[in-house]
Amino acid sequence: MLREYQFKAKNPRGRVLHGVLAAENAEGARVDLAARGYEILGLKEQTGWLERVNRLVHRILPVSLFDLAVATRQLAIMLDAGLTMRRTLQVLINQSVSPKLQALWREVERDVANGQPLSRAMARNPAAFGLLYVGMVRAGETSGQLSLVFHQLADHLEGELTMVRKVKAALTYPAMVFLVSAGLALFIVQHILPQFLNGMFREMGQELPWITRSLVVVTSFFNNPIIFGTTLFLVAVAGFLLYHYLKSPMGRRRWQAFALQAPMLGDLQRKVLTARFSRTLGTLIRSGVPVLHSLALCQTVLENYVLAEALERAQQDLKDGARLSQAIAAIPFFPRMLATFIELGEQTGTLSDTLESLARTYEMELDVALETFTAMLEPLMVGVMGGFVAYVLIAVFIPIYKLVTAF
């Protein structure tokens, strides 16, 4: 039975490394480290509770998409160079900067050393290696083309990463503008307006216009610690409950259905999901995964209930003898062009290439849609902030104007 040993060692470049490796005994661990050219500075067996904590931590902490894409590309390159799978995993363990990834590869390497297939070892960590990843690795094991499959997986993950970055970049600027505007508005209401309103309007001795009275009420609300604190608490509780509701199957289904119907947001969602579906399906088919199983994996990977229900019907159509293009054409969620080009790919025998070309096309459309979305958000947010400023100015200057004209 393999045990885990914590080590501190100096590599051939003189860099001091800390890590954990699996070996049958301490002597085996020393031999393994020496074979890597390491100078051992310290070695001790992990205690039972420490090992359990280590496993728990690396199962809970997420693996970033970037780290997984880089590691997958490295894995493919090392397999191309002729390294054995176990040696490749050992290199990944030593080279991983992320403690999460290091622990993950260590567990996979231990299972492979115990004789388990790589796909089964990865399937034990579904949070890191999803169904798509494991399914493609299993197909690569069956076909004997693991290095090719890992290159395709790396291409797929890099494409997903590019799309995620584009969406985040498009939303970052409007979010920052909103936060700064909200913070500035709160500062004005809490610190500037109270002194101005209390100092001037109380001395006027006349009835204030409704718009000014509403501003006084708003200012009083934000400056009353009990009322403001209670409101913040209730908002936090409501946000917590809403968050957990949206995490539930019913909540997610309703939110996703609403988001797909919303103006602009729905169009963006459809473009993102269509691009991801095209890329994922193309990658799976290229890797040798059967079409029916590929649709089932897409149904799980895309994590959208509306699309999942449509893909479930498409799988039933395939079982009933329909072609993929016919099954996709029956899904109103997708644009008609998708089914048309899938049919062309079926006729020419280039289905995976066609799907990947479609994915690039939809990603270009997504870029344009994101630019349009952000271009519309900017004037909208400026308009909201301008409306707040206009409200404050009107509320303040109307009573001043009345006071001046009264004399």
pLDDT confidence of residue 342: 92
Distances (CA, A) of 41 to 10, 14, 15, 38: 7, 12, 12, 9
Distance CA 318, CA 208 (A): 72
For the chain, give the mean pLDDT: 80
Mean pLDDT computed over 288-303 = 84
Q: Beginning with the edge strand found earlier in the chain, give each strand of the sheet holding 3-10 in spatial order.
A: 16-23, 3-10, 39-45
**CATH code reported for the domain at 160-407:** 1.20.81.30
Phi, psi of 25 (to 5 degrees): -155, 175
Class of domain 1-46: alpha beta
Average pLDDT, stretch 79-90? 89
Average pLDDT over every residue of 49-62:
54
> Is the pLDDT assigned to residue 57 strictly greater than 70?
no
Q: Is the pLDDT of residue 127 over 70?
A: yes
Confidence of residue 50 (pLDDT cuts 50, 70, 90): low
Instruction: Tell me the pLDDT tens digit for each residue of 17-34.
Output: 777 776 666 777 777 777
Q: Which of 392, 14, 366, 30 is nearest to 186 (CA)?
A: 392
Domain 1-46 shares a fold with domain 160-407: no
Percent pLDDT > 90 in the chain is 9
Q: What is the pLDDT of residues 354-369, one digit of tens each?
A: 998 888 888 888 888 8
Average pLDDT over residues 266-290: 85
> What Å distances lie between residue 354 and 243, 327, 340, 341, CA to CA?
39, 17, 11, 7
Of residues 174 and 338, more confidently modeled: 338
- Direct distance between the N- and C-terminal alpha carbons of the chain, in angstroms, rounded to an integer: 97
pLDDT, average across residues 381-392: 80
Per-residue pLDDT tens over the stretch 180-191: 777 777 777 667
382 or 348, which is more confident?
348
The whole-number pLDDT of residue 55 equals 55
pLDDT given for residue 238 in this prediction? 93
Task: Give the separation between CA 206 and CA 128, rounded to whole angstroms.
Answer: 68
pLDDT tens-place string over residues 390-401: 887 787 777 777
Which residues on neighbouring strands pair with residue 238, listed in sequence order?
Answer: none
Residue 214, token pair as written in the block: 């509403």
How confident is the model at residue 316, as a pLDDT? 92
* pLDDT confidence bin for 62, thresholds 50/70/90: low
What average pLDDT score do residues 86-101 get?
81
Percentages of the chain per state (helix, strand, coil), in multiples of 5 = 80, 5, 15
Residue 6 pLDDT > 60? yes
Can you tell me whether residue 44 is helix, strand or coil? Answer: strand
* 282: pLDDT strictly greater than 70: yes
On the question of pLDDT at 59 being above 60, the answer is no
Can you say whether the dihedral through the CA atoms of 94, 97, 100, 105 is positive or negative? Answer: negative
Confidence band, pLDDT 50/70/90 cuts, at residue 249: confident
Q: Residue 2 in contact with residue 22, Cβ under 8 Å?
A: yes
What is the pTM (predicted TM-score) of this model? 0.64
Q: Classify the phi-psi angles of 321: left when phi > 0, otherwise alpha if psi is within -120 to 50, otherwise beta.
A: left
* Per-residue pLDDT at 93: 84
> What is the reported pLDDT for 37?
77
Q: 3-class SS at 372?
A: helix
Q: Would you say 392 and 187 are in contact if contact means Cβ atoms under 8 Å apart? A: no
pLDDT of residue 314: 92
pLDDT, position 250: 85
So what's the pLDDT on residue 284? 83
φ, ψ of residue 46 to 5 degrees: the values are -70, 135
Q: What is the mean pLDDT of residues 60-68?
A: 74
Q: Which residue has the higher pLDDT, 83 or 160?
A: 83
Domain ranges in the chain?
1-46, 160-407
Q: Model confidence at 326, in pLDDT bands (50, 70, 90)?
A: very high
Question: Could you tell me which residues come within 8 angstroms of residue 228 by beta carbon, excluding any fewer than 6 positions away?
Answer: 221, 222
Contact indicator for 313, 332 with CB cutoff of 8 Å: no
The pLDDT assigned to 54 comes to 56
The pLDDT value recorded for residue 114 is: 83
- Could you tell me the two tokens for 291? 């079409």
